[in-house]
Amino acid sequence: MIKVCVADNYPVVHFGVKSYFKDHSDISIVANIGNFSMLNEILQTKEIDVLLLDLELEGLTSIFEVKSILKEFPKTKVIIYSNLSEQIYAPNAIKAGASGFVHKTEKLGTLAEAIIKVQQGKIIMNETVKKNLALIAKQSKSERLYRKLSNREVEVLRYLSDGKKNHEIADILKLNEKTISTYKLRLLTKLNVTNLVDLVNKAKTLEIV
């Protein structure tokens, strides 16, 4: 039996996933948590084979924290289960060590298949992600700019798009404010814009945020 922990902000997600897998022959939901601070305790006290993790989980400020989870609990596989843009977050999640990315619009049967494959040691991304990446490769140079962005640049861009100031982002990511300014300058350069408003609009056009 594959033991699964669901880490998500919303009770309806916990209820839906747990109800679907209630009588599943291979998968058992053994833990449900609603914020990142609970995760370490759960992984220490329960045997978790697969963690379903929403990148917007309360208290999770950086995709780099996924690396920390995997380093401390190497036997636990991580599947990102999220509503965030697949085009940008799926590849970054895999780079961070996640074993797969399943968008919340997918059927729960697809999620079940992903859990089983990941437990078998496979790295999975759904067909939508693969098709999107193939389409992106055919797009214009400007539309492919976002592929040059690092994980950290994507995170900074996301917070900037949410209206946060440099010092607020620095506090969230536990970085120096000057470092955030540097990331901001890099983003302006890479996305070929000269101000924050255009930067945010470009990011939204390219579905980076």
pTM above 0.85, yes or no: no
Question: What torsion, rounded to 10 degrees, do the Cα atoms 200, 203, 205, 209 define?
Answer: -100
Q: Residue 177's CB: how many other CB atoms inside 10 A?
A: 14
| pLDDT attached to residue 118 | 97
pLDDT tens digits along 97-144: 899 999 999 999 999 999 999 999 998 876 766 665 566 555 555 455
Rounded-to-integer distance, Cα 56 and Cα 83, Å: 9
- In the chain, the percentage of residues whose pLDDT exceeds 90 is 57
Within its chain, how far is the Cα of 44 from the centroid?
A: 22
Query: Rounded mean pLDDT of the chain?
Result: 87
Q: Residue 2's CB: how many other CB atoms inside 10 A?
A: 20
Q: How far is CA 125 from CA 79, 95, 113, 131, 179, in A?
A: 10, 12, 11, 10, 32
| pLDDT attached to residue 151 | 79
| Lowest mean pLDDT, pick from 81-85, 109-113, 134-138, 162-166 | 134-138
3-state helix, strand, coil in the chain (%, to 5): 55, 15, 35
